[in-house]
Amino acid sequence: MPDFNTWDIIKVPFPYTDRPVRERRPAVVVAANGIQQEHGLLWVLMITSAENRGWPGDVLVSNLALAGLPAESVVRTAKIATIEIKEAERIGSLPAADRGLVAQHLITELARSTN
């Protein structure tokens, strides 16, 4: 079974929230350690084209080659999913320069959810 790390960019069948289909698309791993070892799962955030209408919390990917992405893209921090690792394929890594902002958006949203 593959082993993934936080900040890996992977290609996975990402579920849509508005229709009963899944499309293989890039995503960034935001939780891998315990849930991967214990349950074979990853928590991921959707990556989408920067050409799409922007959402609050989107983070532009600063290095496409390192990320393994073919076109200008953003991490859509509002779209999180749980994925089985058997469905994931590593394609790159989120640049270090982008990680802090992605983490900040996640922490902010989680903090708002507990109030």
This prediction has a pTM of 0.88
The runs of H, that is alpha helices, within 1-95 are 33-39, 64-67
The pLDDT of residue 87 is: 83
Residue 109: per-residue pLDDT: 85
Model confidence at 18: pLDDT above 80: no
Q: Which two tokens stand for residue 107?
A: 């922490």
Maximal CA-CA distance, the chain: 39
* pLDDT tens digits for range 37-49: 899 999 999 999 9
In whole angstroms, give the CA distance from residue 102 to residue 115: 21
Give the residue carrying structure tokens 């890039």.
26
Q: Domains (ranges, CATH) in the chain?
A: 8-113 (2.30.30.110)
Q: Is the per-residue pLDDT at 1 higher than 70?
A: no
Q: Taking the alpha carbons of 47, 68, 106, 24 in that order, is the dihedral positive or negative?
A: positive
Comparison of pLDDT for 21 and 77, the residue scoring more: 77
Query: What's the average model confidence in pLDDT over 8-31?
Result: 82
